């Protein structure tokens, strides 16, 4: 690979056995190989958790076992968020599924990414496409971040597999390996902060490290320590103004957007401060996570004051 090769591709596992996954998924995927039955699959999990790598290596292993061609003629990789719409996707899939291959032999695989970006009507159309083709020689592998956005009727067309967030120790170990091979000097503390900033999105972390490889020692990374400081400020009653000032300072120093800070704060509370996780807090988080108000000043005040009101109302004995 050339020097300009993205590290995400350079260090992407090429074999299914090298992909980190939990025991349940390992059994399911190994059964696909050993029993030689490849059903339509719906992989869902957070961004950067390895969905694409899992599918690619699974197909590769299946083709090796069946002595099938690894030709690109047998695989089509589409993005469901394509602005051209479901009709273009339908035409591409139907043309791919019905066309004869000149030299390649084996099953055909339709890989469809970001299915959760599809409208309800588009999902209905996708179901019709799958049912319309209904050939054992054509397999659909669909991926999404949020399975809750996929209609039940479409989910029923697949074997559903959850790809969970990778354990911290696994992520740090993998990043250390990359940094060592690429001669990048970085402390474990800073790696932990990068994990927090990207919520264990491995693709995002690797891209960030490659982009800033020569200046990581000079960059201040917004991580758990800073989130804890913001959380502590919001625990103080009627501390909205000071919290807003702290937020502005954080945005300036760490070059990170307010929305991203609020998202990290939400994850931090849910994962580390269970005593604060109430129905009121969860409903509030849901309300602002899905709100992208162009008026940043109003949005910031709304979120800060909401957090302050909910968190400061809880007993001081909770830590």
Residue-wise pLDDT for 150-187, tens only, equals 999 999 999 999 998 888 888 999 999 999 999 998 88
Closest CA to 157 of 138, 137, 130, 121: 130
Residue 4 pLDDT level (bands cut at 50, 70, 90): confident
Is 97 part of a structural domain of the chain?
yes
Domain shared by 115 and 236, yes or no: no
Parallel/antiparallel/unpaired status of strands 108-113 and 138-144: parallel
* Separation CA 227–CA 263 (nearest Å): 10
Closest CA to 109 of 165, 50, 163, 32: 32
For the chain, what is the mean pLDDT? 87
Residue 5's pLDDT is what?
87
**Per-residue pLDDT reduced to its tens digit, 273-304:** 988 999 999 999 988 877 665 577 888 899 99
* Separation CA 309–CA 264 (nearest Å): 19
CB atoms within 10 A of CB 128: 12
- Per-residue pLDDT at 318 exceeds 70: no
- CATH number, domain containing residue 291: 1.20.272
Domain shared by 135 and 20, yes or no: yes
DSSP-derived 3-state class of residue 77: strand
Output 8 or 90, whichever has higher pLDDT: 8
Residue 71's pLDDT is what?
66
Mean pLDDT across 125-140 = 89
SS3 content of the chain, % helix, strand, coil (to 5): 55, 10, 35
* Separation CA 29–CA 17 (nearest Å): 10
Is 59 part of a structural domain of the chain?
yes
Is 75 part of a structural domain of the chain?
yes
Domain count, the chain: 3
Domain shared by 26 and 153, yes or no: yes
Domain shared by 156 and 16, yes or no: yes
Domain shared by 45 and 135, yes or no: yes
* Separation CA 276–CA 289 (nearest Å): 18
**Per-residue pLDDT reduced to its tens digit, 42-101:** 999 988 889 999 999 999 999 988 877 666 778 999 988 776 677 888 888 888 888 877
Alpha-carbon distances, residue 148 vs 40, 101, 155, 160, 196 (angstroms): 18, 37, 10, 12, 24
Residue pair 168/189 in contact by the 8 Å Cβ criterion: no
Closest CA to 43 of 12, 64, 15, 21: 21
Domain shared by 116 and 239, yes or no: no
Alpha-carbon distances, residue 83 vs 79, 92, 148, 160, 290 (angstroms): 9, 14, 22, 26, 21
Closest CA to 109 of 90, 147, 148, 135: 135
Is 1 part of a structural domain of the chain?
no
Number of DSSP helices (H) and strands (E) in the chain, helices first: 14, 5
For the entire predicted model, the pTM comes to 0.72
Domain shared by 181 and 125, yes or no: no
Q: Which domain holds residue 305?
A: 224-312
């Amino acid at each position: 690979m050339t020097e300009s090769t993205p590290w995400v591709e350079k260090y992407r596992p090429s074999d299914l056995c090298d992909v980190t996954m939990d025991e349940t998924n390992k059994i399911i995927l190994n059964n696909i190989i050993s029993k030689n039955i490849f059903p339509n699959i719906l992989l869902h999990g957070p961004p950067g958790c390895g969905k694409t790598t899992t599918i690619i290596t699974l197909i590769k292993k299946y083709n090796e076992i069946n002595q099938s061609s690894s030709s690109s003629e047998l695989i089509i990789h589409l993005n469901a968020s394509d602005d051209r719409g479901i009709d273009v996707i339908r035409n591409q899939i139907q043309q791919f599924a019905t066309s004869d291959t000149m030299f390649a032999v084996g099953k055909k695989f339709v890989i469809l990414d970001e299915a959760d970006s599809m409208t309800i009507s588009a999902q209905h159309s996708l179901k019709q496409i799958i049912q319309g083709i209904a050939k054992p020689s054509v397999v659909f592998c669909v991926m999404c971040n949020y399975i809750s956005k996929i209609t039940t009727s479409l989910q029923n067309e697949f074997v559903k597999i959850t790809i969970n967030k990778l354990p911290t120790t696994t992520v740090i170990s993998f990043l250390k390996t990359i940094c060592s091979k690429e001669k990048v000097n970085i402390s474990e503390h800073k790696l932990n902060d990068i994990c927090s900033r990207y919520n264990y999105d491995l693709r995002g972390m690797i891209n960030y490290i490659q982009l800033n490889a020569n200046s990581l020692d000079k960059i201040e990374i917004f991580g758990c320590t800073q989130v804890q400081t913001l959380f502590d400020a919001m625990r103080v009653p009627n501390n909205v103004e000071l919290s807003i000032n702290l937020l502005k300072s954080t945005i300036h120093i760490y070059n990170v957007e307010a929305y991203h800070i609020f998202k990290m704060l939400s994850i931090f509370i849910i994962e580390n401060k269970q005593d604060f996780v109430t129905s009121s807090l969860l409903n509030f988080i849901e309300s602002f996570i899905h709100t992208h108000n162009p008026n940043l000043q109003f949005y910031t005040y709304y979120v800060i004051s909401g957090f302050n009101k909910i968190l400061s109302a809880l007993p001081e004995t909770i830590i």
